[in-house]
């Protein structure tokens, strides 16, 4: 489960980077719109456009490093 790593990454990245979660079971239309096929999927958007995507669990350091490498 990636939730603890995600929460720690939020603490390290915000407010410089805004992180958000989507419950794909409750919001299936949005999940389909963004072509989310596996859980977890992380997507980085800049100015409303997708610039990076990663499917699969990561630890806190990997999330922070991945985000920082794309912003």
Write down the mean pLDDT value for the chain. 95
For the chain, domains (ranges, CATH) are 3-70 (3.40.30.10)
What CA–CA distance (Å, rounded) separates 5 from 67? 13
pLDDT, position 45: 95
Give the integer Cα–Cα distance in Å for 49 and 55.
18
- The stretch 41-55 carries a mean pLDDT of 96
Q: Say if residue 1's pLDDT is above 90.
A: no
């Amino acid at each position: 489960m990636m939730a603890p790593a995600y929460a720690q990454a939020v603490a390290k990245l915000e407010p410089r980077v805004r992180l958000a979660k989507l419950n794909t079971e409750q919001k299936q239309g949005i999940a389909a719109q963004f072509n989310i096929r596996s859980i977890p999927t992380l997507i980085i958007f800049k100015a409303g456009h997708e610039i990076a995507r990663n499917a699969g669990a990561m630890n806190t350091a990997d999330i922070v490093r991945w985000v920082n490498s794309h912003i």
